[in-house]
């Protein structure tokens, strides 16, 4: 079995260096190990860049969290005082002014929803539980439970098939990932066309793949690139409600688990297949990261 080891040593001048060692056993014709071939690289510079990136990412996330958290309070004041003023003036308002109040309050409420979604987004990987061995099938069942009212209102169906292995993941994040993808698959369809959604799980080696297939409105190929960005929406709010954070959240969850996410669609009107792949065991469970100093 190949072995990877990352460790720190202290050089002769007292400076710490990070080394990465990869070892492969050499065997004779009977399969007995006769020697070990090992290559060791000095990765101190790469480690310093990675640490700096981690630090600045953590700072950015803290910043996003603080902004979204602290902005809600003054915004709530705007909404409540606008509502109070509207009530106080109720007898004196003409139709136009009443509509202006409606737009102002509606805008403030929508901003609050966007901030809440952003808060949720900034929490991924920070405020969620640690990764443990979980049953992926339980995560999909939980997601479906949350979506029961939306599914019943749509008159459609969701079919779950394939393999749903156990894997090392955050149960809460996996459930939210599935919930967002299935929620979109239920939502983005023509009004006269009840959604038919298929959720298929499969396992190949150390990789767990899920496909969420719908027969809905589909996606134009030139729009696919921006779908996973925060606040990126292809449809107007009057046609489909939403804050445009769901897929960005999905991407962040998948990245937090060292996986990939994407979508295939033959174009508008041809449905979509959103997919993601996660490692069943994260790489450091296989290779191990050790600090010997
Ligand atoms: N299954 C789908 N079929 C067609 N278009 C989709 C599908 N899923 C997502 N989209 C498009 O991608 C956009 C972004 O989706 P995303 O889930 O991030 O946001 P949302 O659904 O608008 O809001 P929310 O934050 O409430 O999920 C959507 O507005 C829609 O235009
Ligand atoms: Mg969505």
Ligand nearest to the CA of 247: 1
Claim to verify: residue 139 and residue 183 sit in the same structural domain: yes
Question: Is 290 inside a domain boundary?
Answer: no
Claim to verify: residue 145 and residue 251 sit in the same structural domain: yes
Claim to verify: residue 137 and residue 265 sit in the same structural domain: yes
Of 68, 232, 242, 254, which is best to mutate to test ligand 1, by the most ligand atoms within 8 angstroms of its C-beta?
242
Claim to verify: residue 106 and residue 147 sit in the same structural domain: no
Structure tokens, 237: 């709010």
Ligand nearest to the CA of 120: 1
Query: 281 C-alpha vs ligand 1 centroid, how far in Å?
Result: 30
Of 190, 220, 247, which is best to mutate to test ligand 1, by the most ligand atoms within 8 angstroms of its C-beta?
247
Claim to verify: residue 116 and residue 145 sit in the same structural domain: no
Per-residue model confidence as pLDDT tens digits over 59-118: 887 887 788 788 888 999 999 999 999 999 988 999 999 999 999 999 999 999 988 888
- DSSP strand pairing (196-204 vs 166-169): unpaired
CB atoms within 10 A of CB 219: 21
CB atoms within 10 A of CB 119: 18
Closest atom of ligand 1 to CA, residue 241 = 22
Closest atom of ligand 1 to CA, residue 235 = 31
- Site residues for ligand 1, CB cut-off 6 Å: 117, 180, 184-185, 188, 214, 216-217, 219, 227, 232-235, 242-248, 272
Claim to verify: residue 21 and residue 143 sit in the same structural domain: no
Residue with tokens 């979508």: 263
Residue with tokens 């990939």: 260
Claim to verify: residue 280 and residue 136 sit in the same structural domain: yes
Query: 125 C-alpha vs ligand 1 centroid, how far in Å?
Result: 22
Ligand nearest to the CA of 261: 1
What is the reported pLDDT for 160? 98
- The alpha carbons of the chain give a radius of gyration, in whole angstroms, of 25
Query: 184 C-alpha vs ligand 2 centroid, how far in Å?
Result: 5
Question: Is 293 inside a domain boundary?
Answer: no
Query: 175 C-alpha vs ligand 2 centroid, how far in Å?
Result: 14
In tens digits, the chain (293 residues) has pLDDT values of 667 888 888 878 888 899 999 989 899 999 898 998 999 999 999 999 988 888 887 888 788 778 878 888 899 999 999 999 999 998 899 999 999 999 999 999 999 998 888 888 888 876 556 789 999 999 999 999 999 999 999 999 999 999 999 999 999 999 999 999 999 999 999 988 999 999 999 999 999 999 999 999 999 999 998 899 999 899 888 889 898 999 999 999 999 999 999 999 999 999 999 999 999 988 654 444 433 32
Distance (Å) of CA 194 to CA 148, 150, 156, 268, 269:
14, 12, 5, 17, 14
Q: What is the CATH number for 257?
A: 3.30.565.10
Q: Which of 175, 160, 172, 183 is nearest to 246 (CA)?
A: 183
How far is Cα of residue 251 from the mean position of the Cα atoms in its chain? 4
Q: Which of 247, 248, 96, 258 is nearest to 184 (CA)?
A: 247
Question: Is 204 inside a domain boundary?
Answer: yes
State the Cα–Cα distance between residues 163 and 138, nearest whole angstrom.
12
What is the reported pLDDT for 1? 65
Of 118, 177, 197, 244, which is best to mutate to test ligand 1, by the most ligand atoms within 8 angstroms of its C-beta?
244
- DSSP strand pairing (272-279 vs 207-214): antiparallel
Q: Where are the beta strands (DSSP E) in 53-162?
A: 132-135, 157-162
Closest atom of ligand 1 to CA, residue 232 = 14
State the Cα–Cα distance between residues 55 and 5, nearest whole angstrom.
23
- At residue 212, the 3 state secondary structure works out as strand
Claim to verify: residue 190 and residue 278 sit in the same structural domain: yes
Residue with tokens 């509207």: 86
- At residue 42, the 3 state secondary structure works out as strand
What is the reported pLDDT for 195? 96
Distance (Å) of CA 15 to CA 8, 44, 52, 133:
10, 11, 18, 39
Q: Which of 74, 170, 176, 56 is nearest to 115 (CA)?
A: 74
Ligand nearest to the CA of 271: 1
State the Cα–Cα distance between residues 38 and 127, nearest whole angstrom.
39
- DSSP strand pairing (260-264 vs 272-279): antiparallel
Domain final residue, candidates 97, 123, 149: 123
Range of the domain at 111: 55-123
Domain final residue, candidates 105, 123, 141: 123
What is the reported pLDDT for 120? 85
Of 184, 190, 267, which is best to mutate to test ligand 1, by the most ligand atoms within 8 angstroms of its C-beta?
184
Q: Total structural domains in the chain?
A: 3
In sequence order, the 6+-apart residues with CB closer than 8 A to the CB of 190 are 216, 217
């Amino acid at each position: 079995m190949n072995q990877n080891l990352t460790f720190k040593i202290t050089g002769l001048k007292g400076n710490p260096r990070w080394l990465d060692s990869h070892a492969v056993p050499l065997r004779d014709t009977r399969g007995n190990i006769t020697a070990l071939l090992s290559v060791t690289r000095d990765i101190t510079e790469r480690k310093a860049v990675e640490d700096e990136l981690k630090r600045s990412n953590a700072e950015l996330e803290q910043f996003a969290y603080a902004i979204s958290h602290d902005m809600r309070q003054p915004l709530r004041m705007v909404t409540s005082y606008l509502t109070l003023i509207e009530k106080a003036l109720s007898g004196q308002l003409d139709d136009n002014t009443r509509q202006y109040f409606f737009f102002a309050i509606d805008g403030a409420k929508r901003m609050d929803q966007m901030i809440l979604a952003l808060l949720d987004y900034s929490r991924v990987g920070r405020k969620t539980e640690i990764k443990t061995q979980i049953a992926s099938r339980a995560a999909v069942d939980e997601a479906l439970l949350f979506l029961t009212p939306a599914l019943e209102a749509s008159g459609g169906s969701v079919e779950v098939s394939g393999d749903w292995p156990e894997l090392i993941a955050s149960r809460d994040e996996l459930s939210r990932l599935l919930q967002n993808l299935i929620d979109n698959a239920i939502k983005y369809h023509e009004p006269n066309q009840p959604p038919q959604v298929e959720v298929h799980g499969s396992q190949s080696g150390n990789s767990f793949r899920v496909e969420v297939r719908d027969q809905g409105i589909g996606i134009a190929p030139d729009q696919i690139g921006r779908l996973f960005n925060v606040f990126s929406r292809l449809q107007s709010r009057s046609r489909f409600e939403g804050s445009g954070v769901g897929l960005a959240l999905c991407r962040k969850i998948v990245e937090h688990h060292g996986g990939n996410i994407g979508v295939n669609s033959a174009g508008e009107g041809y449905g979509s297949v959103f997919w993601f792949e996660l490692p069943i065991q994260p790489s450091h469970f296989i290779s191990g990261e050790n600090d010997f100093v």
